[in-house]
């Protein structure tokens, strides 16, 4: 039965969503970008899979911005924007906490949301997903960029709309002509060749490895041994990085959970949702920490005098607070001549820092800023933890009038339009390991 479609508002974007079933539990399905609400109910296997999950509670489905029934956008949405969409949907349908079921490309956003909003995440379920799309020096589970782009150029690009992706995503039914034609219709309805290329390139930039250690909700990771789209070793590694995660390796080669042995998938989700008590809301969450600092403040006091300096400082604080509010930051405290603030998205933190630097310049002031995303401990109105120390040290190394960020921030804002310039590897005082730092490129 096709449910009614409703709309939630995320900023100035309308996000289409549907709810099915009822109960005390909410389960949000985060689909890969080739699936949207219209396609679900045109696919007997997919719609049957969704309806079976309603036996576990209320199921919430939504289309990412730019996809399906949600508002179109010029650029593919970032992970941060996708989190905005999910929060808007949960707010609109009255869901305080939900289990997230991230499938394939829907996994990285689910990971980031669970780490950033543990108070709204009951449990995390992943299927056929990954923390990063491409291989790296310390992450051999992904393919090389060259191999992926070759496959894209030879298979996805020229054959999009003809159903060729069924050989990767659902090989167990690829020999059935009707199934291949259904996949072709899905491709044509999901996105144009140009749009799918944009989404594909955006996906290649995702990297949420640095936030896996922050996740503190019950987690189930499922992966099929012969998955052709995402190597099963990516799923095994993912489970090793998340505290207490349970890994279930299933036989088969289909990437989509609604193809192949769906009974096993539903059974694992059912055990996850009904076999454990809800975890307590943790005090440690993922956040992006911003430190700002006035450059040459002592010299400026000497030049202006105490009275004029106080007036300038008050103007500076008023401007900073206005920009923090504009970019949805939370002021934690002032730090002498600077500010400590937290954000629920790294791109907003970087843009707030840029706006602050530009806005105080007419006062004859120079500000430098440091940004890092990591686990923070909420201590009443204050925050603590290693992420706060890292952001503070990064700010100390920033050049006047510039924003300096860690590699974690750079990786998490892929697709946001922000550009970075490498500033080398640094040892941060009082912080273990060496850290890659990047200056935000001037506009």
* Domain architecture of the chain: domains with CATH: 6-274 (3.40.50.1820), 284-440 (3.30.70.1230)
Does the CA dihedral 69-70-74-78 come out positive or negative? Answer: negative
On whether the pTM is more than 0.75, the answer is yes
Closest CA to 129 of 252, 224, 34, 226: 224
Q: Output the average pLDDT for the chain.
A: 90
Count the helices and strands in the chain (H runs, E runs): 16, 16
- Asked whether 99 and 123 are in contact (CB, 8 A), the reply is yes
What confidence score (pLDDT) does residue 278 get?
A: 43
- Asked whether 27 and 56 are in contact (CB, 8 A), the reply is yes
Does the CA dihedral 241-244-245-250 come out positive or negative? Answer: positive
Measured between alpha carbons, how far is 159 from 420 in angstroms, rounded to an integer? 34
- What mean pLDDT comes out for the span 9-38? 92
pLDDT exceeds cutoff 60 at 374: yes
Measured between alpha carbons, how far is 335 from 301 in angstroms, rounded to an integer? 17
- What mean pLDDT comes out for the span 33-60? 90
Does the CA dihedral 275-277-279-281 come out positive or negative? Answer: positive
- What mean pLDDT comes out for the span 13-37? 93
What confidence score (pLDDT) does residue 424 get?
A: 96
Measured between alpha carbons, how far is 385 from 90 in angstroms, rounded to an integer? 29
Rounded to 5 degrees, what are φ and ψ at 341?
-140, 155
CA 402 to chain centre: 25
Give the 3-state secondary structure percentages of the chain, helix then strand then coil, rounded to 5: 45, 25, 35
| Distance, first Cα to last Cα, the chain | 50
What confidence score (pLDDT) does residue 277 get?
A: 45
Q: What is the pLDDT of residues 220-233, one digit of tens each?
A: 999 999 999 999 99
Lowest mean pLDDT: which of 44-53, 145-154, 329-338? 145-154
Tokens 């990516």 belong to 234
- Asked whether 43 and 49 are in contact (CB, 8 A), the reply is no
CA distances from 25 to 4, 22, 29, 49, 56 (A): 20, 8, 13, 17, 7
Tokens 């924007």 belong to 81
Tell me the pairing of strands 98-103 and 26-30. parallel
Q: Which two tokens stand for residue 171?
A: 């090989």
């Amino acid at each position: 039965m096709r449910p009614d479609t409703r709309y939630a508002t995320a900023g100035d974007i309308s996000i289409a969503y549907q709810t099915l079933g009822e109960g005390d539990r909410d389960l949000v399905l985060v689909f890969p970008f080739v699936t949207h609400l219209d396609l679900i109910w045109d696919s007997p296997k997919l719609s049957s899979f969704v309806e079976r999950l309603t036996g576990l509670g209320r199921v919430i489905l939504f289309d990412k911005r730019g996809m399906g029934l949600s508002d179109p956008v010029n650029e593919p949405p970032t992970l941060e924007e996708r989190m905005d969409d999910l929060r808007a949907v949960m707010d609109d349908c009255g869901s305080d906490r939900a289990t997230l079921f991230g499938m394939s490309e829907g996994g990285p956003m689910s990971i980031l949301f669970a780490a950033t909003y543990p108070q709204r995440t009951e449990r995390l379920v992943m299927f056929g997903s990954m923390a990063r799309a491409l291989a790296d020096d310390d992450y051999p589970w992904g393919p090389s960029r060259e191999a992926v782009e070759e496959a894209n150029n030879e298979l996805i690009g020229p054959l999009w709309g003809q159903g060729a992706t069924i050989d990767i995503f659902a090989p167990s039914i690829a020999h059935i002509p009707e199934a291949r034609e259904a996949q072709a219709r899905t491709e044509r309805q999901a996105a144009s060749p140009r749009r799918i290329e944009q989404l594909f390139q955006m996906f290649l930039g995702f990297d949420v490895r640095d936030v896996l250690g922050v996740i503190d909700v019950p987690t189930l990771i499922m992966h099929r041994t012969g998955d052709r789209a995402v190597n099963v070793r990516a799923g095994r590694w993912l489970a090793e990085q998340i505290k207490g995660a349970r890994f279930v390796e299933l036989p088969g080669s289909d990437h989509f959970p609604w193809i192949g042995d769906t009974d096993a998938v539903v059974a694992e989700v059912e055990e996850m949702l009904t076999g454990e008590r809800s975890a307590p809301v943790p005090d440690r969450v993922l956040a992006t920490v911003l430190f700002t600092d006035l450059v040459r403040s002592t010299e400026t006091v000497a030049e202006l005098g105490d009275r004029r300096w106080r007036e300038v400082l008050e103007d500076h604080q008023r401007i900073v607070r206005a920009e923090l509010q504009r970019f949805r930051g939370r002021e934690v405290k002032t730090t002498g001549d600077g500010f400590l603030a937290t954000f629920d998205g790294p791109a907003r933190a970087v843009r707030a820092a840029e706006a602050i630097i530009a806005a105080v310049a007419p006062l004859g002031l120079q500000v430098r800023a440091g940004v890092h995303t990591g686990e923070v401990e909420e201590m009443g109105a204050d925050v603590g933890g290693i992420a706060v120390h890292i952001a503070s040290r990064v700010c100390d190394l920033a050049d006047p009038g510039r924003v300096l960020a860690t590699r974690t921030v750079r990786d998490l804002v892929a697709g946001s339009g922000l550009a970075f310039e490498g500033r080398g590897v640094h040892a941060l005082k009082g912080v273990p390991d060496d850290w890659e730092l990047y200056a935000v490129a001037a506009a």
